[in-house]
Structure formats: C-alpha cells, structure tokens
Structure 1
Amino acid sequence: MFVGGILVVVWVMLEREMCVVFSWGGLIGRVRGVFLRIGICNDGDRKWFEGGSVLGGYIIMGIGFYVI
C-alpha cells in the first residue's frame, strides 16, 4: 500500500497520466483490512495478541486472493 501511494505521487510529479484500476475483490480486501485494523487497535493499547490477530487476518485475506 505504501509503494502504490508513492508511485501515484511520482506520476503526478512527472505530469503523466496513470491508469489505476482495482478489481472489486482487491478493493473490498483493502477496505476490510483497514476496518480490521481499526477494530482491533482502536483502544490505544496494543498487545502482541492484537498484532497477531491483524497479521492473521491479512494472511487469511492473502490466501483468499491467491485461491480466487
């Protein structure tokens, strides 16, 4: 996600048109990942289990994208 944002900024600075196309599955996965992170880490106190839960959620979504 970081690299994608940097590439958009670079293309704007180069004054070229960049076609960014996301599939519905990819877009839903990104939104789901953001809500997963917000829901788990919203209390301000982070523990190793919360980080593991977020990582596990990302792994499950990654496997889902690979299978689909």
Structure 2
Amino acid sequence: MRLPEIQQMVRSLSVENDALRKEMRALQRDCTALSQENGKLEAPSVHYAERGDLRGEQGEATPTTA
C-alpha cells in the first residue's frame, strides 16, 4: 500500500468512527431514558410483589422483570 492510499483509509475510518461515536451517544441517551422509565414502571410491581399480589389495581397482571 502506498502512503496516499493509507491516508485515504485513515480519513475514511475517522469519518466512520465519528459517525459511530454519535450513534453510541444517541444509544446511551436512549438507554438512560428507558432505564428511568423502567424504574418508574417497576415501582408498582415491587409494591404488589411485596403484598403477594401479582395483579394491578384493575385486576390486570403486571409484568415481572427477569
């Protein structure tokens, strides 16, 4: 490989790396938001589980976490 080819490959990889970093940050934000939402959803499930009741107030089964 010649120097110009290597330089072009480095530029191309740098652009791809930047795009992947942006995608990673977006995914981290989404994961954080989902984690916070999950925490809000888990609170009622924990309350019902402590009472030994696996059903919500309307009599619907509440999802359990693995």
* TM-score higher than 0.5: no
Query: What TM-score do you get using the length of structure 1 for normalisation?
Result: 0.32
Query: What TM-score do you get using the length of structure 2 for normalisation?
Result: 0.33
Which structure is higher in RCO with an 8 Å CA cutoff and minimum separation 6? Answer: 1
